[in-house]
Structure 1
Amino acid sequence: MLRKFVIGVAVIATLVAGVGTARLVLPWTDPTRGVPKQLAFLRAEIEGGADRNAQQQFPEGYFFLNVLYGLSWVQVGVADPARAADATTEVRWALDRIASPDGTAPFDAALQPEYGIFYAGWTNWLRGGLVALGQSDAADRSRFTSDSVAIATAFRTAKSPFLPAYPDQAWPVDSVVAIASLRLYDAVVVPRFGQVARNWVTAAKSRLDPATGLLPHQVTPQVSGARGSSQAMIQRFLVDIDPTFARSQYEIFKDKFVTGLGVREYPKGTGGKGDVDSGPLVLGISLSATVVGLGAARVHQDPLAERLSRTGELVGLPFSGRKTKRYLFGAVPIGDAFLAWSTSARPLVATGQPKLDGSSGWSGWWRLPWLVVLWLPALLLWGGLRLRHRGRRRKRAH
């Protein structure tokens, strides 16, 4: 009975290793094809209260699940104009949810811009995405204009380029998103905020983390050095603000944070604990930073994106049905939202960003550790069965 059980486990381990190997080495198909299925799954989950559940997990859970759902639809609709009408409907639905009392509840309406730069920046970026889909109306463009003016005014009058997301709390990444939304306005409506963006870049360059040469993680109430969870997001948006500055920052980010396993939360050679921003760390790797880093790699046309996508398809345990696709059995919808947004990532402003050379840094050898992890259990099980069988034959011979 035990032998049959071990054989069964060995067969399963072999099948798992075979499927995993296929995902690592077979010719790669465009992973964005599965995003509409992911969004169908997410829509049903949000309607079932997944956004309110996410709010219990971290402070912006409700907001992030809805805004990433809408932004993923923006990217799908921009990439495929045949889906633009559906995307417009879904983006409006997401905007209504983040404007609801549940969406604004964590934020302070007294801040400038209203509800703080985190809420204002992400909302404006989503509203700009709605306009970018090409099916907006005059009311959409009017609201995009008024919100963009409010954001620009807040930057013009602030003493720091990094505005608060909450009272007396500021993270540079939030201001990056907001400035990107102004650049999006210039691209899809009319040029208006170019000088604000240029002034912001100049000011931001003067406040880089001296240890890494990257934007800091937090600046108020205390200044903390660059971290992977915020850097991955910064690299995702900076390309739409200043492509040249973005490329130089991205190269430093890769050098100091990207490893063979994913994106570290703390720079190489340093360590620290995980928190609400990074999530749990495994060997220093932040899962959230790695997923967002996939999107950053895509907007920079970096071959790293394929490696991260393949790894996600391997360890994320994806299940794709006829109408929906989910990861980790759909247990963490906010994770599916980040993955859909990163998998379909594309610049909305920048054009012609040159591809990065994939001939150095990461060759096909990155697969080797994963192949070892995949095949070692199966080989050990089959090897143990073979040794046990030999032992029995020797006993019978004697």
Structure 2
Amino acid sequence: MGRIRRWAPRVVGIVVTLACLVGAGRLLWPQPGLDEQPGATTRQLAFVRDQLDEGSDTAAQELFPEGYVFSNVLYGLAWVQAAHTDSALRDDALRESRWALARLESDEGRAVFSPRLQPAYGVFWAGWTNWLRGAILSLDSTDTAEVQRFSTHSTEIAQAFSAAETPFLQAYQHQAWPVDSTVAMASLRLHDKLFDTKYTTVIDRWLVQAKARLDPATGLLPHQVSPADGSMMTGARATSQTAIHRFLPEIDPAFAKSQYSRYREQFVAYPGGFGPAVREYPRGVEGSGDVDSGPLIAGVSLSATVVAQGAARVNGDRALAAAIGAEGELLGLPLSLPGSKRYAFGLMPIGDAFVAWSSTARSLTEPTTALEPDLRWWWRLPWLGILTLMAIAPWAWTLAGCARRRWSAPETVTG
């Protein structure tokens, strides 16, 4: 027992030190470029699929109203994006993304949305479903029945926007969020990219109306609006901004560029010197977290920060995308196995779906133009400093004892 007591602290110390070295390696490991994706993408998607087969989408639905849709649509979209980067994945991507689309269009996928809305089941469900269908057709447009469905649903969405006095349609009865309409509008632009140009007038009208309803405090699209006229109810928040900036470059690159610059200036932060991370509320505004943002840590939303990686990639912001990716490898506690990869020990599979979607993000309608916005060159140093202190901490008493013995040892006098 005495030997165990002597060796136990040393074993713990070795484990802690090794864990810190692994963490430092993950932080410093080069991240994929804008036209690349993480090497573990297929293993991560394999984990998400296994969890979906076990009902993780139904479990996510119990956490928030869009849990089922997001679990499936992000899985399908991540596969499509991955196949656009690596053509060898095309067949797998088509099979899996079509499987995900079928789940969106199932009774369970539409259960919480109203068929009485315009478009049917609301703009959230219609927009994400239409975007996934178009994304699949961007890989393979030979299925004429699917092409017709894409055209039919796109027309329904376009007619709903044309008939409305507001650019922000309802996702639920009497509730509207601009981010949902942004996704739907991106699906119309994707239709025009892949097939006949039909919706330019609708898209141009939407842009004019949306620009007239920006949050005056930030100059960005608001978080929540009145479904009657699109007037702002809640100012810009990162939960919706990060998704908006994932899709806005698909619609209008010039408008997207100006909006992204404002977003980056007001939401990207370095709390306590650590970061970069994304605040839920713009600089100078404090607020509490909710079911969408999750709990806030020093004002930072972890979920928004994950989605921000995808927004950065599509906007050509390689520096921010790489930084968030590196922090995710450090703080996300990834567990890599031969056939799968998961974050946070796999406790929140929908989080893995968001990571896969964001880390593979790429534009489907417009080429990405690289940006070179400022990013603190020393952003890794605080993280490395903490890792160094943690690595040394288990040996502090031993090192202090060595130092005491060194300075208390009598000097040898020679003569």
Give the TM bin, normalised by the shorter chain.
over 0.9
Matches within 5 A, 1:128-167: 128-167=134-173
State the distance in 2 between where 1:265 and 1:301 align: 22
**Is 1:53 matched up with 2:68?**
no
Aligned residue among 21, 25, 29 for 1:22 = 25
SS at match of 1:223: strand
Listed one character per residue, the Cα deviations across residues 197-237 of structure 1 (whole Å, up to 9, x for unaligned) are 11101100000000000000000366100001100000000
Q: TM-score, normalised by structure 2?
A: 0.91
1:344 alignment counterpart = 360
Matches within 5 A, 1:107-118: 107-118=113-124
Q: Which moved more, 1:96-105 or 1:205-214?
A: 96-105
State the distance in 2 between where 1:28 and 1:160 align: 41
Amino acid at match of 1:377: M
Deviation of the 1:364 alpha carbon: 3.0
Matches within 5 A, 1:345-360: 345-351=361-367, 353-358=368-373
Deviation of the 1:194 alpha carbon: 1.1
Amino acid at match of 1:295: G
Count of residue correspondences = 394
1:176 alignment counterpart = 182
The structure that has the greater radius of gyration is 2
Q: Is the 8 A contact 2:278 2:300 kept in 1?
A: yes
Listed one character per residue, the Cα deviations across residues 263-300 of structure 1 (whole Å, up to 9, x for unaligned) are 10001121100001111111110011001000000011
Q: Is the 8 A contact 1:16 1:374 kept in 2?
A: no
Amino acid at match of 1:374: L
1:33 alignment counterpart = 39
**Is 1:301 matched up with 2:304?**
no
Q: 1:369 to 1:3 in 2, by over 3 A?
A: farther
1:383 alignment counterpart = 396
State the distance in 2 between where 1:316 and 1:299 align: 22
**Is 1:287 matched up with 2:302?**
yes
State the distance in 2 between where 1:215 and 1:196 align: 18
State the distance in 2 between where 1:53 and 1:392 align: 59
**Is 1:316 matched up with 2:332?**
yes
SS at match of 1:165: strand
2:242 alignment counterpart = 232
Aligned residue among 351, 367, 370 for 2:383 = 370
2:345 alignment counterpart = 329
SS at match of 2:224: coil
Q: Is the 8 A contact 1:107 1:119 kept in 2?
A: yes
Deviation of the 1:301 alpha carbon: 1.4
**Is 1:267 matched up with 2:292?**
no
State the distance in 2 between where 1:339 and 1:11 align: 31
Amino acid at match of 2:261: E
- Give me the identity figure in percent: 51
1:86 alignment counterpart = 92
State the distance in 2 between where 1:114 and 1:58 align: 21
Q: Is the 8 A contact 2:309 2:325 kept in 1?
A: yes
Deviation of the 1:21 alpha carbon: 1.4
Q: Which moved more, 1:48-57 or 1:14-23?
A: 14-23
Q: Is the 8 A contact 1:209 1:216 kept in 2?
A: yes
Q: What's the C-alpha RMSD, in Å, of the aligned pairs?
A: 1.8
Q: Is the 8 A contact 1:85 1:135 kept in 2?
A: no
State the distance in 2 between where 1:387 and 1:328 align: 35
Aligned residue among 224, 245, 254 for 2:255 = 245
Amino acid at match of 1:97: R
Deviation of the 1:395 alpha carbon: 9.3
Amino acid at match of 2:241: Q
2:413 alignment counterpart = none
Q: Is the 8 A contact 1:84 1:135 kept in 2?
A: no
Deviation of the 1:136 alpha carbon: 4.2
Q: Unaligned stretches of 5+ in structure 1?
A: none
Q: TM-score, normalised by structure 1?
A: 0.95
Deviation of the 1:81 alpha carbon: 2.3
